[in-house]
Amino acid sequence: ASEKTLGERFSTAILWVLDQNERARLFYETVGWVHDGTSKPMVIFGRDATEVRYRKDLDRGRAEGSSNR
């Protein structure tokens, strides 16, 4: 679903990404996601890893769109 469509029903989106995945983290930050400081440990294929949480405000587009009217 598009961000605009999701923004009609939800105000915030979250996603988790591996802490060491710098390429993905840079991509998400470039398109407006913000690391909110939350992390959690996990195990992947028997190895310890850490995920970090990103948030994105979805209703910002609605507020900007309404100011253009």
pLDDT digits (tens, 9 = 90+) for 8-49: 778 899 999 999 999 999 999 999 999 999 999 999 999 999
**Predicted pLDDT of residue 68:** 36
What is the 3-state composition of the chain as percent helix, strand, coil, each rounded to the nearest 5? Answer: 35, 40, 25
Which strand (E) or helix (H) includes residue 35? strand 34-44
- The per-residue pLDDT for 58 is 87
Distance CA 30, CA 46 (A): 31
Q: What is the pTM of this model?
A: 0.73
